[in-house]
Structure 1
Amino acid sequence: MSIGALDATSAYGKVAGLGSALSKPTAKTEGSGFGAMVEDLVTGTADQMRTAEHASAQQVAGKGDLIDVVTAIGAAETALDTMVAVRDRVVSAYTDIMRMQI
């Protein structure tokens, strides 16, 4: 069974549409604390990933520009690397706190 490029782009479109509906928060957290910063980081990363997927789908369909695809993928990769680095630092801080003696 062969999957065509248009089938793949329509599948990504369906997933991206479903993902955007599920990822929108129902209540915005107020304040500028750490939780709000993490929420903004995750939301921004998800937006960058959706933008890159949309640009890729447009390119596959023959309607996009390759420069836009490369730029969008680079921005998404940078955002994801930043989010992973923050996660690693948080996990490291948590393990350091758990190792402290009371």
Structure 2
Amino acid sequence: MLTSVSQAHNAYAQSLQNSLQSGVTDDTPDSVSDFSSVLSQAVGNAVSTGHAAEAQAAQGLSGGGDMTQIVTAISNAQLALQTTTVIRDRMVQAYQDVMKMSI
């Protein structure tokens, strides 16, 4: 599980671009709601990628489907899971760092 910071940054940038294309705009002054919507959409995309990979794998087990598409779908799901895990770990570390700060 080796995911670089640039891969996490690219995934965040892609999710931000997807959210802007789906109608979420920067009109709101509350950046927390923007971040939370981007984060929830990123998690939703990771889950849907996992479901698509499962469907491709099930189709392959039943004798149908293209092996290249199956492997690609599983690789995409693996990358989405790794990216989500890295983002979660970084957020937990940032929270712990903030809690260690003296007032």
User: What pairs with 1:10-21 in structure 2 (closer than 5 Å)?
Assistant: none
Aligned length: 74
RMSD: 1.8
TM-score (norm: length of structure 2): 0.67
Runs of 4+ in 1 over 6 A off after TM superposition: none
The residue aligned with 1:42 is: 43
Which deviates further from its counterpart, 73-82 or 31-40?
Answer: 31-40
Letter in 2 for 1:73: I
The residue aligned with 1:78 is: 79
Q: Does 1:93 align with 2:94?
A: yes
SS at structure 1 position matched to 2:102:
coil
In the TM superposition, residue 91 of structure 1 has moved relative to its aligned partner by 0.3
TM-score (norm: length of structure 1): 0.67
Q: Percent identity?
A: 38
Letter in 2 for 1:37: V
Q: Distance in 1 between matches of 2:42 and 2:83?
A: 9
Q: Distance in 1 between matches of 2:101 and 2:81?
A: 31
Greater C-alpha Rg: 1
Letter in 1 for 2:98: I
Higher relative contact order (CA closer than 8 Å, sequence separation 6+): 2
In the TM superposition, residue 35 of structure 1 has moved relative to its aligned partner by 0.5
Could you give the per-residue CA deviations for residues 29-75 of structure 1, whole angstroms, max 9, x where no partner exists? 98662111110111000010000000000000111111111000011
SS at structure 2 position matched to 1:33:
helix
